């Protein structure tokens, strides 16, 4: 394979290898009884912020559930969702399996159900913030990466460079527009006393943010943190207007700018492979090589009779005159 062919196919090969490796890891974890979940509710606060990836393992039969332990469970047939909450109370029932009452750390009241050991899906071994957003969009990302990798083997030149730059951007932009993972907030509750408004808000995005209620001061929060923002009411409005904005230090904004410039850097880097270079394995001669038909034949050689004689040489007097500024000949 020529150097240009290798340069054209290696990005697609790397993408396919990464997709295959992710599939093998996922399959191995499932066979071992592990499960992955993403957190979509702010009820656990900073323990498991929205967008976290929860990695669980099966609960051994000889290990009891402890008070205050975080578990992943399925409440029952009436509630199809899976929850990540903390055990708040243990309720022994004579003659029946022990029941457990659960509660989210930020919830003011316990959950409206009780669970048994059979309801527990697993025990968290790792809670990784922000990575759950990737897990939520895994189907889109893996399918899109496979399409981009496949097309990279087919396209060449400019269209291929455009694909390798805009393809990954599109894969990231679609989930970002739909889910708003970077900057987001959740209003947990509010109260009003005269024209004074108190709002309980939680940062549900990846980045630190500031919450500002109308007429109040900004309050900063990190992912999963609950804060209280105070402001004033707005005439003729029944909702509490809360403004959410990213809150980053100067180096954080520089990092955001650098990430936004990555497509331009990738395009410049990929353009290196667009330069025309001779293939090592290509036996065809260069375009400017002299063919045998174009070689000078003996008949076209300059004979001694056609050489410039001394009489035909330019005399020193036939020179450019500095005064006239033109060629003059003196006889």
Q: In this predicted model, what pLDDT tens digit does every residue of 233-244 receive, in sequence order?
A: 776 666 778 899
Residue 284: what pLDDT?
Answer: 52
- Identify the bridge partners of residue 220 per DSSP, sorted by sequence position: 210
CA geometry: angle 74, 80, 86, nearest 5 deg: 35
Q: Provide the residue ranges of all domains of the chain, joining segments of one domain with +.
A: 33-134, 185-247
What are the two backbone dihedrals, phi and then psi, of residue 220, each rounded to the nearest 5 degrees?
-90, 145
Residue 38's nearest CA partner among 57, 58, 22, 55 is: 55
More confident residue, 15 or 218: 218
Rounded Cα distance between 95 and 82, Å, is 27
Query: CA–CA distance from 183 to each of 189, 205, 223, 227 (Å)?
Result: 19, 5, 10, 16
Other residues' Cβ atoms within 10 Å of the Cβ of residue 92: 8
pLDDT digits (tens, 9 = 90+) for 45-80: 999 999 999 999 888 877 889 999 999 999 876 777
Structure tokens at 301: 């050689």
More confident residue, 212 or 193: 212
Q: Which residues of 169-186 are buried (b: 16+ CB within 10 A; e: fewer)?
A: eebeeebeeebebebbbb
More confident residue, 10 or 145: 145
Does the pTM surpass 0.75? The reply is no
Do residues 36 and 29 touch, judged by C-beta distance below 8 A? yes
pLDDT digits (tens, 9 = 90+) for 233-288: 776 666 778 899 999 999 999 998 998 888 777 777 767 655 544 444 445 555 55
More confident residue, 61 or 308: 61
Tell me the pLDDT of the chain averaged across its residues. Answer: 80
Do residues 15 and 149 touch, judged by C-beta distance below 8 A? yes
Q: Which CATH superfamily is domain 33-134 in?
A: Umud Fragment, subunit A (2.10.109.10)
Using pLDDT thresholds of 50, 70 and 90, give the confidence band for residue 11: low
């Amino acid at each position: 394979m020529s150097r240009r062919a290798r340069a054209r196919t290696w990005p697609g090969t790397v993408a396919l290898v990464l997709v295959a490796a992710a599939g093998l890891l996922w399959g191995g974890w499932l066979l071992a009884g592990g499960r992955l979940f993403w957190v979509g509710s702010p009820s656990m606060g900073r323990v498991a912020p929205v967008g976290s990836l929860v990695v669980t393992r099966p609960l051994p039969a000889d290990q009891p559930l402890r008070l205050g332990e975080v578990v992943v469970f399925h409440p029952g047939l009436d509630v199809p969702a899976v929850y990540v909450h903390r055990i708040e109370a243990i309720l022994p029932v004579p003659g029946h399996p022990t029941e457990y009452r659960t509660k989210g750390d930020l919830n003011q009241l316990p959950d409206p159900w009780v669970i048994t050991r059979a309801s527990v899906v697993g025990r968290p071994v790792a809670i990784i913030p922000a990575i759950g957003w990737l897990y939520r969009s895994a189907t889109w990302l893996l399918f899109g990466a496979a399409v981009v990798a496949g097309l990279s083997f087919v396209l060449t030149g400019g269209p291929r460079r455009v694909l390798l730059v805009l393809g990954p951007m599109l894969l990231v932009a679609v989930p970002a527009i739909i889910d708003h993972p970077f900057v987001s907030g959740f209003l947990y509750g509010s109260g009003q006393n005269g024209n004074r408004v108190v709002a309980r808000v939680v940062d549900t995005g990846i980045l630190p943010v500031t919450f500002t209620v109308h007429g109040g001061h900004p309050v900063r929060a990190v992912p999963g943190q609950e804060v209280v923002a105070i402001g004033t009411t707005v005439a003729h409005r029944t909702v509490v207007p809360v403004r959410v904005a990213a809150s980053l230090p100067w180096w954080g904004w520089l990092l955001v700018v650098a990430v936004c410039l990555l497509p331009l850097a990738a395009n410049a880097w990929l353009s290196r492979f667009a330069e025309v270079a001779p293939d090592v394995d290509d036996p065809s001669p260069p375009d400017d090589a002299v063919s045998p038909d174009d070689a000078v034949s003996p008949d076209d050689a300059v004979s001694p009779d056609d050489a410039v004689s001394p009489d035909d040489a330019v005399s020193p007097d036939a020179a450019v005159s500095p005064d006239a500024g033109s060629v003059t000949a003196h006889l």
